[in-house]
Amino acid sequence: MSASRPYVPRFGEKAPTLPAMRRNRRAELKIWWREIDRPLLVMILLLMAIGNVAVAAASPASARRLSTSAEHLPDLYFWTTHLRWQFLGIVTMLGASMLPRDLARRAGIVLGLSMMGALLLVPFIGHEVNGARRWLNLGFTFQPSEFLKPAFAITLAWILSWRVRDPNLPVIPMTAGIMGLTGILLMAQPDFGSTILFAGVWFVMVLLAGIPVQRIAIMGAAGAVMIGATYLFYDNARHRIDSFLGGGEAFDQVDLASRTLLAGGWTGSGLWLGIRKLSLPEAHTDYIFSVIGEEFGLLVCALVVMLYLAIIVRVLVRLVGEEELFAILAATGLAAQFGGQAFINILVNLQLFPSKGMTLPLVSYGGSSTIALCLTIGFLLAITRRNPYLTRDRFNFRAALGLGPRKSAARQVGRVASKEQAR
């Protein structure tokens, strides 16, 4: 029954009553709750709860830093705003997770086309902040590249899955063309860090699709050449790399973040008791991991890292036994995008990567980034939904570690059926 137009019963058919429609809706929710990956959902909500506390800790530092004589921001300004964005993000995530797999794929493709069109408009009518033109103001301000991230993985998975029907289709050159266009539009903003992230997601998905070893070597060499050319001819990337290696303003920020991270020791100084965070730029966004280190300690930082790792491993384990190539590629691409962004941010805070304006997923304060990341998780939950009553291959840890042969549940069922027929 379509929600866009009233239901008209057929001749002789009795229209459903309101109680029956409510029962159907409850049945749909029960199916959704039975099929969704509940452990993954719990870990995501736990990560968002940690982000809520972290933004509360970082909010006074950023609010005082951004306050002026004309406008004074309350200490918890960013925390209260973040609560509203988190609420909208959770609604978006749950709504996207209820989509059937086919509808999630179509929504991702349409979103990708829309955001590519928006990226084309950014150089002309984009809103500039801190020297970068990455935002569009259409009555509300948003960053198209953030919403392109989940759509990019889903669209590439859809194209790469065509190989199942026809192995001769040039799907890899097609996805390379999409990656090239995306990279050009991002570097025009400039946004070299996001370009690296998109390229990494594309490379992971192409590897998973079954690219020959010879092409992997060619792609690696081409990537090295492009990075070298970027350093020589792209000022934004060269300045960031030079500053990271030789010192400078960007390096000073990363150095300050590293010192803030280590200032709290193993157990931290306590909530709102950190001092170094007050001089940290973008404490509530780019360098929130350092605030966690100062106020809650390195043990909590390690917990956050393990939580990101657990989310990625959970997605990969969930895909064991999955038969649809699109689902495998899309879920892996979404997980690579989510995990890649997290570890780039963490490496920057550890002074192991050049400074990059990239948030810590679901932890940092953000509007577009929070909604887009929740949409990413919503698509991931929708794509990994499965009927628990269907027989699938079970994940065998002994086989994964090379300690024994892997026996699938389907194969065991087949053997039992053969024995029964023989009797």
Beta bridge partners of 141: 137
Q: Distance between CA 417 and CA 401 in Å, rounded?
A: 29
Residue pair 326/161 in contact by the 8 Å Cβ criterion: yes
Q: Residue 323: what pLDDT? A: 81
Residue pair 380/334 in contact by the 8 Å Cβ criterion: yes
Asked if pLDDT for residue 207 goes beyond 60, the answer is: yes
Bond prior to 190 in cis (omega within 30° of 0): yes
Q: Residue 243: what pLDDT? A: 59
Q: How confident is the model at residue 2 (pLDDT cuts 50, 70, 90)?
A: very low
**Residues whose CB falls within 8 Å of the CB of residue 30, separated by 6 or more in sequence, listed in order:** none
Model pLDDT for residues 67-77, shown as the tens digit of each residue: 877 788 888 99
Q: Residue 413: what pLDDT? A: 39
Q: How is residue 402 written in tokens?
A: 């090379």
The four Cα atoms 372, 292, 310, 373 give a dihedral, to 10 degrees, of 0
Q: How confident is the model at residue 402 (pLDDT cuts 50, 70, 90)?
A: very low
Q: Residue 250: what pLDDT? A: 47
Model pLDDT for residues 235-248, shown as the tens digit of each residue: 555 666 665 565 54
> H helices of 129-212, where?
144-160, 171-187, 192-208
Q: How confident is the model at residue 65 (pLDDT cuts 50, 70, 90)?
A: confident
Asked if pLDDT for residue 340 goes beyond 90, the answer is: yes
Residue pair 186/119 in contact by the 8 Å Cβ criterion: yes
> Has this prediction a pTM greater than 0.85?
no
Q: Residue 97: what pLDDT? A: 94
Q: Residue 9: what pLDDT? A: 55
Q: Distance between CA 344 and CA 195 in Å, rounded?
A: 12
Domain boundaries along the sequence of the chain = 33-233+321-337+356-388
Residue-wise DSSP of 140-161 = SEE-HHHHHHHHHHHHHHHHHG
Helix (H) or strand (E) holding 223: helix 213-233
Residue pair 328/322 in contact by the 8 Å Cβ criterion: yes
Q: Distance between CA 414 and CA 356 in Å, rounded?
A: 53
Q: Is 81 in a helix, a strand, or coil?
A: helix
Residue pair 235/188 in contact by the 8 Å Cβ criterion: no
Neighbours of 242 (CB within 10 A): 15
Q: How confident is the model at residue 379 (pLDDT cuts 50, 70, 90)?
A: very high
Highest mean pLDDT, choosing among 41-50, 54-63, 155-164: 41-50
Q: How confident is the model at residue 20 (pLDDT cuts 50, 70, 90)?
A: low
Q: Residue 409: what pLDDT? A: 41
Q: Residue 326: what pLDDT? A: 92
Q: Residue 137: what pLDDT? A: 79
Q: Distance between CA 223 and CA 345 in Å, rounded?
A: 22
Model pLDDT for residues 262-319, shown as the tens digit of each residue: 888 888 888 888 888 888 888 888 899 999 999 999 999 999 999 999 999 999 999 8
Asked if pLDDT for residue 64 goes beyond 70, the answer is: yes
Model pLDDT for residues 361-377, shown as the tens digit of each residue: 999 998 888 999 999 99
User: In angstroms, what CA-CA distances link 216 with 8, 21, 123?
Assistant: 56, 53, 33
> H helices of 67-143, where?
77-97, 101-125
Asked if pLDDT for residue 6 goes beyond 60, the answer is: no
Q: Of 114 and 126, which is predicted with more confidence?
A: 114
**Count of alpha carbons within 13 Å of 1, Cβ hemisphere only?**
12
Q: How is residue 57 written in tokens?
A: 């800790």
Q: How is residue 3 written in tokens?
A: 């929600």
Q: How is residue 45 written in tokens?
A: 């909500």
Q: What sign does the dihedral 324-329-332-333 (CA atoms) show?
A: negative
Q: Residue 232: what pLDDT? A: 63
